Amino acid sequence: MNGTEIVTQGSQYALGLGTLALINAGLAQSKNRSGLLWFFISLPLGPIATFFLVAMEKKQQLSHNKNC
């Protein structure tokens, strides 16, 4: 394996992790969680963060009652 092949594989790995981080950010937002926070959590953790997001229940939104 020469240097060019190593660089190519490394860039493909980084591209895959970046794509997964974007998917996780969207998944987090669909569960009423911070997409930006989960994007950065997903960069080092990758599929582990995806597992946690899928296993978590949807966070309840706070409802503001104007009659109070």
CA atoms within a 13 Å half-sphere pointing along the CA-CB vector of 44: 3
Give residue 28's pLDDT: 95
C-alpha 2, offset from chain centre: 32
Give residue 4's pLDDT: 83
pLDDT reading at 60 higher than 80: yes
Query: CA 34 to CA 17: how far, in whole Å?
Result: 18
Backbone angles phi, psi at 25, to 5 degrees: -60, -45
pLDDT reading at 14 higher than 80: yes
Confidence bin at 65 (pLDDT 50/70/90): low
Tokens linked to 20: 């997964």
Mean pLDDT for all residues in the chain: 88
Give residue 53's pLDDT: 94
